[in-house]
Structure 1
């Protein structure tokens, strides 16, 4: 049973976040029309708020707006999702390199603590929590790298393939594959080994691309 969208917006800091979460979790499915009047009633917000939210999600690549035909959830094919991951791989590998070159002792401790929390989430079978920590780790590595242009690029790319990645994260056994990859990346950065950090990040992103591709067969 899907959650009530109105409940989602009450927990969310913005309508944009609530709609994004609904798209990621499949409350709104690919190619589904997003009718402004329906969303206004569902979320108990103004029509202008709905328009603004849909505009933001269109920029992120989650919503497609067609003149005189309204908005719909953008359908991202398996092939396109894989292509997005491949592009992200190059950018995130750069960030892993820069993070390994500039990481501080305090940041090493922070990354290792995140790794411990990810391990605890997997051990407890808390896949959604693990997925959230996974995203946070990737974002923190980018922040440590100081590559703000890369950060903006990654966020746009992540948004477009995020539904595929959420479904992948919920697959039984997937966390057991990705967790060791994340822990190795953390240790390469902690060891200030840029070349190893790059290779491990590329391998990790290749693993995601292969898993998404396999999920479509």
Structure 2
């Protein structure tokens, strides 16, 4: 870690703490409802308490942390109801990205999507739900990137950050990867066919299935 971050409050120290905390939450190293004690985190990351407090405020604005009056901060718990609402928002935005991707993708990008489809199929065949979950994330991210719809991408990154734990839970549910595989392959096929309407419909069908799975918890 740079000396400036270790010794100071400054923007660099805050950014360092922010990145470390965000990664810990997204990777599941910090559990939902876990208390985030500023003094402990400052010591752990070797920055000032002011840097931790500023980082926690940023994470609260991202929806990853909640500030509780007179009790400090904790990792925000995203309820099933909230996860459904977030997924409904994703449906509109990711549908738009799929349309744009079908219209704009290069041949090389279409080949990348085909490779991801094969990797997803292999993960299901190998019974590897964690790899499948990561590839699932990679596929959605790649479609967003290909779309070039920067406003939608920015919104989706914030929404998806709140769904990490639900995504892993769904990936580990018996039979879920097998079910969603066909949905993902349909998305890939429609984009590779350069069919915007079919691409949007495939994304919406997939995320409708995700909502049904969330509600089945």
TM over 0.5: yes
Aligned to 1:138: 140
Q: Which residue of 2 aligns with 1:100?
A: 102
State the number of aligned residues. 203
Q: Please give the residue correspondences for 1:67-78 in structure 2 after superposition, counting only pairs within 5 Å.
A: 68-78=70-80
Alignment partner, residue 162 of structure 1:
164
Match of 1:206 among 201, 205, 208: 208
Q: Which of 20, 35, 38 is matched with 2:37 structurally?
A: 35
How far is the alpha carbon of 1:65 from its aligned partner?
Answer: 2.2
SS at match of 2:67: strand
Contact 1:62–1:160 at 8 Å: present in 2 too? yes
Q: Distance in 1 between matches of 2:33 and 2:72?
A: 12
Q: Does 1:122 align with 2:117?
A: no
How far apart, in 2, do the equivalents of 1:156 and 1:179 lie? 25
Mark the structure with the bigger radius of gyration: 2
Mean Cα deviation higher: 26-35 or 179-188: 26-35
The Cα shift of 1:22 comes to 3.9
What does residue 184 of structure 2 align with?
Answer: 182
The Cα of 1:52 is off from its aligned counterpart by 4.5
Distance of 1:211 and 1:15 partners within structure 2: 35
Checking the alignment, whether the CA contact within 8 Å between 2:95 and 2:200 is kept in structure 1 is yes
User: Per the alignment, in what secondary structure is the counterpart of residue 72 of structure 1?
Assistant: strand
> Is the aligned partner of 1:50 residue 2:90?
no
- What is the aligned partner in structure 1 of residue 25 from structure 2? 23
How many angstroms apart in 1 are the aligned matches of 2:19 and 2:121? 27
CA shift digits 1:52-78 (9 cap, x unpaired): 442332232110124553211112111
Which structure is richer in relative contact order (CA contacts within 8 A, separation 6 or more)? 1
Equivalent residue of 1:51, what SS?
Answer: helix
Equivalent-residue separation in structure 2 for 1:172 and 1:43 (angstroms): 38
Paired residues of 2:26 and 2:161 also in contact (CA < 8 A): no
Runs of 4 or more, structure 1, over 6 Å off, are: none
If the length of structure 1 is used for normalisation, what is the TM-score? 0.84
